[in-house]
Amino acid sequence: MPKCLCPIVPTIFLAPLAAWKIENLTMMSPDEVSALGVVRDVYEDDQLTEIVVEDIRIPSQQAGPASTEMDPEGVAAVLAEFAGDGVDAADVRLWMHSHAAMKTFWSQTDVDCIEGLRTGEGAPLVSIVTNHDGHRLGRIDWWEPVRLTLDDVPVEVLLPDYDLADELSATLAERVRPFPPPPKTKALAIRDTPAPNHHGLWWEDDGLDLLGGHVWGADVDEEDVR
């Protein structure tokens, strides 16, 4: 039973297996599709901070471009499958469904379905709606000890912790080096240069050396220019 309901908004995390199944199920189905899943509540200092979705299963259902309806016997079969894996039925508290090509939002049909999946003993029900654009929208509902809904709850993929941060940091420092700074160039002091002649050229006797001793226009006869 939750000890504290709403001082902070919990984050819904998808375990890697659940994330893979949800993403591929959404993209493989041209229409809406529903699934049920098992969740694990994480508390810190008596506060619910995370809900981790561990796995999902697909019940038999009818589905179309704008709706999905799970068969009661299909829901019972999924609960039996989870029970066969040692999962407590009280932990099957996720309803995930896709909106296919539509935006992610909670329709009145969705709200009615959530009410029909009401949980007891203060345990929260987690709902996630997805679509073909890769968007995910999360929601958490309580019915006990008070009726409470948290909408627009963050849904993130839970990446595994391989405890390799120190090794990766050492390898980065050892094998990756910065490019050397570019060579410095001597700036030309424009204020010290003579003005070009009336042809717009500088001649040798103008005293301007721009290219390492060779002066622009030095090989041109001024008479030829005229």
Residues 49-90 pLDDT 10s = 999 999 999 999 999 999 999 999 999 999 999 999 999 999
Residue 215 — very low, low, confident or very high, per pLDDT cuts 50/70/90? very low
Measured CA to CA in angstroms, residue 92 lies from 107, 179, 187, 212 at distances of 23, 54, 73, 81
Residue 177 forms part of a structural domain: no
Q: Which domain holds residue 211?
A: 187-220
Same domain, residue pair 212 and 120: no
Q: What pLDDT was estimated at residue 189?
A: 56
Q: Angle at the Cα of 104 (from 59 to 87), degrees rounded to 5?
A: 35
CA–chain centroid gap for 130, Å, is 13
Same domain, residue pair 133 and 194: no
CATH of the domain at 88: 3.40.140.10
Residue 173 forms part of a structural domain: no
The number of folded domains in the chain is 2
Residue 4 forms part of a structural domain: no
Same domain, residue pair 124 and 196: no
Same domain, residue pair 152 and 210: no
Residue 2 forms part of a structural domain: no
Residue 15 forms part of a structural domain: yes
Same domain, residue pair 69 and 114: yes
* pLDDT, average across residues 120-132: 94
Specify the residue for token string 């009145």: 108
Number of residues that make up the chain: 226
Q: What is the mean pLDDT of the chain?
A: 86
Same domain, residue pair 95 and 192: no
Cα 203 to Cα 211: distance, rounded to the nearest angstrom? 13
C-alpha neighbours within 13 Å on the C-beta side of residue 182:
3
Same domain, residue pair 111 and 20: yes
Phi, psi values for residue 171, rounded to 5°: -65, -40
Specify the residue for token string 């969705």: 110
Specify the residue for token string 């041209």: 30
Same domain, residue pair 102 and 15: yes
Indicate whether 170 pLDDT > 90. yes
Same domain, residue pair 150 and 193: no
Q: What pLDDT was estimated at residue 5?
A: 55
**Which phi-psi region, left, alpha or beta, contains residue 179 (left: φ > 0; alpha: ψ -120 to 50)?**
beta
Residue 102 forms part of a structural domain: yes
* pLDDT, average across residues 159-187: 89
In DSSP terms, which residues pair with 148 in a beta bridge?
142
Cα 35 to Cα 108: distance, rounded to the nearest angstrom? 18
Which of 135, 157, 179 is the C-terminal boundary of a domain?
A: 157
Are the C-beta atoms of 19 and 59 separated by less than 8 Å? no
- Say whether pTM exceeds 0.75: no
